[in-house]
Amino acid sequence: MKALLSFILLFFSIASFAQRARDYGVEIGVMKTGKLNSITDVDGVKVGHTTRVEGTTIRTGVTAILPHSGNIFQQKVPAAIYIGNGFGKLAGISQVQELGNLETPIILTNTLSVPMAIQGTVKYTLGLEGNENVRSVNAVVGETNDGGLNDIRGMHISESDVIKAIESATTGQVQEGNVGAGTGTIAFGYKGGIGTSSRLLPESFGGYTIGVLVQTNFGGVLTIAGVPVGKELNKYPFKNAIDKSDGSCMMVVLTDAPLDARQLERIAKRAMMGLAKTGGIASNGSGDYVIAASTAESMRIPYQTRNTTDNGGVLRNDEMSALFMATIEATEEAIINSLFAAQTMTGNGRTVESIPLNRVISILKSYGVIR
């Protein structure tokens, strides 16, 4: 019986990580992935989720991304935010743009829960040892609207949900699909969610790692590894007068490359190119934001210091192109992973089907993408 119980626990532990594009032989791009093909391949990065699936109407959650495991307020990281399309409610953007740094975990949730996510993040930060005299915290909170499957007007996310996501964050493989902030999201007309991917640069280009995590909730003509899958499935916007393509995508890009805020904005812009490669169109009603940060310890910005200058050692612009390519590939694959991992969900009086993987795989085989 004990052996059987151990097997069951192992089975559910494995099953909690859904299959991904590469599990089906779909290889996106040409660069090597990190060991886990996850944002947590960037050393020290942690991700945590709080998932709320309750009754017939609550389908929502919180995802927290920590650039390092220390006190982020005391050891801030260089950061930038790029707006692909600004129909969104991203909190904390102006201070990041002004000062070029990040001082809290990055929080993702639903549109109407941004205020509660700010409160939870601020409460968590104020409670950290060393922050007893802190009187100002710039919480960075992104969102997409999960009102299609979730009772968003009920504002079911609490401060404790946010703090739980932060405190439960770990290194290692990240759960994808219907979890955390991706619990109730929809992408390309199918169930969307959380997705992640990474790229490892060759040593000749610095050996740096780029990791991306996305919250997908947007529309367009789904394209996988260059194949017009949405067209083949006859599921895409503007086929007739009533079709639309609104929605949002939050993209978080972390790297251990020593980059400053200006360079990180250049990185962030390339994530939008990854979005475009999946067929996303950044429609009028879409909130498409990229948050990019460097986790390099040499680049951290102490809250209090007697130094009058910041650290040097910033990567030269001539060395950025490989990082651009890595960002594009990892963003594209993270978005596709969010679809492959997501499962059909019913909530708030609506059912959204997962992507029809058997048909998709058949289409990709017919185009020679899978051999």
d(Cα 271, Cα 280) in Å, to the nearest integer? 12
Q: To which residue do tokens 């980059």 refer?
A: 259
Contacts of 306 (CB under 8 A, 6+ apart): none
- Stated as kind and residue range, the H or E segment containing 247 is none
The number of beta carbons lying within 10 Å of the beta carbon of residue 31 is: 18
Q: Residue 172: left (phi > 0), alpha (psi -120 to 50), or beta?
A: left
Give the catalytic positions in this structure.
Answer: 248, 286, 288
| Residues 330, 199 contacting (CB under 8 angstroms) | yes
The Cα 47–Cα 170 span in angstroms is 5
C-alpha Rg value of the chain to the nearest Å? 20
Asked whether 347 and 9 are in contact (CB, 8 A), the reply is no
Q: Which two tokens stand for residue 236?
A: 């895409």
